[in-house]
Amino acid sequence: MNYEEIKLEFVDRVAVLTLNNPAVLNAISRKMIIEMTDAVGWVEDPAQGARCLLLTGAGRAFSAGANLNDPDRQTTKELRPDTDYVLEKWYNPLFQRLSELPMPVITAINGVAAGVGMSFALAGDMALAARSAYFLQAFRRIGLIPDGGATFTLTHLIGKMRTMELMLLGEKLPVEKALEWGMINRIYDDEALMPEAMTLARALADGPTLALGMMRRACWLALDNRYIEQLWVERHYQMKAGQSEDFQEGVAAFREKRPAKFKGK
């Protein structure tokens, strides 16, 4: 787990994945996306004992988006950036894996989250932000469209009209407005962001993470399903949850009037 542009640490059953190239505001290069993909493999490995993923950025930014000066950028024969190949090969598979992780995912957004960096900031189940944070759909400035699932995620989070405003105008969205719109969950003073994020991540990691993972998967599926289909999704996951050790422990703890000691099994 020796990376150049990210860091991965395991602390109290929490996997902390940090975008770590602050010199370019954690702009995402091909190397960074490959390292992130590898890191998610470690997070998924049961031997590591991770029961919650916390994603953040080093320095004064979460991520300024794609690194347009990346020397490893894929190009076509005409020397134009091969943008669809990059999405197909690297970005889309990673976003799909993040959506399917069997554990809660929290993002701690410090500073700017722009372009595809904003997509990563909103890829979690809960988004916490520093007061210095802001969001930017910067694609119109370079003649591209939003990616990383942004057109899907934002439309469902804040509605079509607000999403179109962000994307068509490319204006900064202050963190207070993002909270008002329901795009993020909580705002903290800058110095309190990571301690608060770790406290929340530890609490989730100590919870019935098998059930929590199924909760997040059910909610992702609900974005596409009809009501009747979702009833069957809930039935399927409830059957699995009802067979878990955590369910037995939760019921026993309730009856014995004591805190439950969940194992994520």
For the chain, list the domains and their CATH numbers.
Answer: 6-205 (3.90.226.10), 209-256 (1.10.12)
Q: What is the pLDDT of residues 43-75, one digit of tens each?
A: 999 999 999 999 999 999 999 998 888 666 655
Q: Let me know: does 125 contact 105? Beta carbons within 8 Å.
A: yes
pTM of structure: 0.91
Instruction: Find the Cα–Cα–Cα–Cα dihedral 176, 124, 113, 41, rounded to 10°.
Output: 160
Q: 160-169 vs 150-158: helix axis angle to the nearest 10?
A: 130
Tell me: the pLDDT tens digits for 199-235? 999 999 999 999 999 999 999 999 999 999 999 999 9
